[in-house]
Amino acid sequence: MVDRIADPWGERTPYGRGEEWPARTDMYLEAGVTPDEVERWVQTASILHSNGDGLDIAVKDGRIVGVRGRAGDRINHGRVDPKDLFGWQANNSPDRLRRPLIRSGGELVETDWDTAMDGIVARSKELLDGPGGWGHFGFYTSGQLFLEEYYALGVIGKAGIGTPHMDGNTRLCTATAAASLKASFGTDGQPGSYTDVDHCDAITLWGHNVAETQAVLWMRMLDRRAGPDPPRMLAVDPRPTPVAKEADIHLAVRSGTNLALMNGLMRELIRNDWIDRDYVQAHTLGFERLEQTVEPYDAEKVAEICGLTASEVRAAAELLGTSERLLSTVLQGFYQSNQATAAACAVNDIHLLRGMLGKPGCGLYQMNGQPTAQNTRETGADGDLPALRNWDNESHIEELAELWKVDPLKIPHWAPPTHAMQIFRFAEQGSIKLLWISATNPAVSLPDLARIRQILAKDDLFVVVQDLFRTETTEYADVVLPAATWGEKTGTFTSVDRTVHLSEKAVDPPRRSACRPRHLSRLRAADGLPRPRRRAADQVE
């Protein structure tokens, strides 16, 4: 058996350009369980990253005991990411929340569902009936839920309450993907398929360590590289990642200089006439302005800015300009850097300049990191509206109002939706008085943690948290709701290339009888940040 920790990508199954990726079925079962002892295999897909790998859940005695890849799935052809091979074990953790918690006497105590929900409903009615109404509600979610859950959240927030204060932690990681796709193409949909790996002759990875973030997609790339007619590879990353080590050309750019590099590469494409002028004329706007913008960025200037050599810049441009079918992927090395959206748009521009969209092998992935980040945007659970509608388009609002049977004025569209940090700012100022947090831990993940924790602890802020475990954030909540997770409910979710998978319920959520409460000492202020007295993290030993 292959050690998938020491060798996370497993054995190679080489294939050539235009051929089908061979299947390879990966499987991992709980110690002592054999495949013959599995009572049921239940179909699902990965919930720990955005690749969307098809899986089967192994069930025995009402418990999840392992997973295997689905050989017929179009995304992974049976392969399983190491995260998914082992991550299912968290479902069986004794630390899972099993009953709702409410705050009593400064501490969180167990209660029943009716009591917990009555408290939420009472506070909600009080706020809705008072001055300000909808403006007192904020929702902060994640990239971990199912499509149907996000859509329900969007309907409740935007058609029921009418609040624009709805965003998620995807704002902190891959909001650039949505912004760049809208800016370049007018809509937030990925213009590519994972099958483009099968047909391309060049792969470019822009700040994307795909080997560790979407391991199965990297397996597909490695298998193409191991077969006949392998695609050339360009990696842009300051670090010597596994991707950088595999690439034919590695541009170890100076951090923060991505846009200068992109300007220089586009200048080389234009200067060498490595562009599809007919496509540019027919399908783009602003070419002359782009040409003027990038003209000062010759290879020598770019090399000086980016910490490269001029020959490296020219070699990368030649790979881009002479390829027949170009595939590009973008992730955090661009999204979390200086001038992020502009740099991501420049990757889109390269595909537009080369006329490489909508053809086999010409994919463009503005990647997500979280498994269902695409769904938050598709369903309106963050700053967007369902089905990628535009809040600034009156016909889109009228269409939604008709579908939802509400007055168009009920749907917030008078200004841009409230982004995550502004939601917490409004809570700090006191205008948001009820904050509902789903499947994320802002008391750890948001910037300026001391301030965020002070906001969560405000006496006039009613905090509701849905999660699987007690976290740093639950310790600031007024109500904590235990959640069912992947494998414990049925739903769908969308991968980066817009494949929608069905995830069926395999087991029931954990019961109270198995409960062993997590010891909270590790949640205390070991990080040196203040913990307001009102919250249980300072009181529970």
Q: Are residues 78 and 107 in the same domain?
A: no
Residue 534 banded pLDDT, cuts 50, 70, 90: low
**Residue 422 counted as domain residue:** yes
**Residue 371 counted as domain residue:** no
Q: Are residues 362 and 458 in the same domain?
A: no
- Domain of 527, CATH number, reads 3.40.50.740
**Residue 373 counted as domain residue:** no
**Residue 29 counted as domain residue:** yes
Residue 532: is its pLDDT beyond 90? Answer: no
Q: Are residues 329 and 388 in the same domain?
A: no
Contact criterion met (CB below 8 Å) for 67 and 53 = no
Q: In three state form, how does the secondary structure of 136-183 look?
A: HEEEEECCCCCHHHHHHHHHHHHHHHCCCCEEEHHHHCCHHHHHHHHH
The number of angstroms, rounded, from the C-alpha of 270 to the middle of its chain's C-alpha atoms is 34
> What are the respective helix, strand and coil percentages of the chain, to the nearest 5?
40, 15, 45
* Cross-strand pairs, 206: 236, 330
User: Residue 84 contacts by C-beta under 8 Å, 6 or more apart in sequence?
Assistant: 46, 47, 48, 49, 53, 55, 67
The average confidence (pLDDT) of the chain is: 92
Torsion angle in degrees (nearest 10) through CA of 375, 377, 381, 384: -160
Average pLDDT over residues 84-93: 95
**Number of domains the chain is built from:** 3
Q: Are residues 475 and 503 in the same domain?
A: no
Q: Where are the alpha helices (DSSP H) in 189-233?
A: 210-213, 215-226
**Residue 372 counted as domain residue:** no
Give the pLDDT confidence of 370-403 residue by residue, as tens digits: 889 889 888 988 878 899 898 999 999 999 999 9
DSSP 441: -
Q: How far apart are CA 523 and CA 337, in angstroms?
A: 31
Q: Are residues 491 and 523 in the same domain?
A: no
Residue 538: is its pLDDT beyond 60? Answer: no
Question: Which residue range is the domain that position 421 belongs to?
Answer: 101-170+381-486+515-538
Q: Is 0.75 topped by the overall pTM?
A: yes
Residue 135: is its pLDDT beyond 60? Answer: yes
CB count within 10 Å of CB 130 equals: 10
Residue 174 banded pLDDT, cuts 50, 70, 90: confident
Give the pLDDT confidence of 177-210 residue by residue, as tens digits: 989 999 999 988 889 999 999 999 999 999 999 9
Q: Are residues 461 and 492 in the same domain?
A: no
Domain stops at, among 341, 366, 391: 366
- Domain of 294, CATH number, reads 3.40.228.10
Q: Are residues 105 and 79 in the same domain?
A: no
Give the pLDDT confidence of 451-484 residue by residue, as tens digits: 999 999 999 999 999 999 999 999 999 999 999 9
Question: What SS3 class is residue 482?
Answer: strand
Output the pLDDT for position 525: 41
- Domain of 63, CATH number, reads 3.30.200.210
Spatial CA neighbour of 165 closest among 492, 429, 383, 428: 383
DSSP run (H or E) holding 233 = strand 232-236
Give the pLDDT confidence of 482-529 residue by residue, as tens digits: 999 999 999 999 998 889 999 999 999 998 643 344 434 344 444 554
Q: How far apart are CA 466 and CA 454, in angstroms?
A: 20
Q: Are residues 309 and 401 in the same domain?
A: no
Q: Are residues 465 and 501 in the same domain?
A: no
Give the pLDDT confidence of 399-435 residue by residue, as tens digits: 999 999 999 999 999 988 999 999 999 999 999 999 9
Q: Are residues 326 and 459 in the same domain?
A: no
Q: Are residues 192 and 282 in the same domain?
A: yes
Q: Any idea what the Cα angle at residue 445 is, between residues 442 and 449, rounded to 5°?
A: 80
Q: Any idea what the Cα angle at residue 363 is, between residues 360 and 366, rounded to 5°?
A: 165
Q: Are residues 501 and 455 in the same domain?
A: no
Contact criterion met (CB below 8 Å) for 361 and 199 = yes
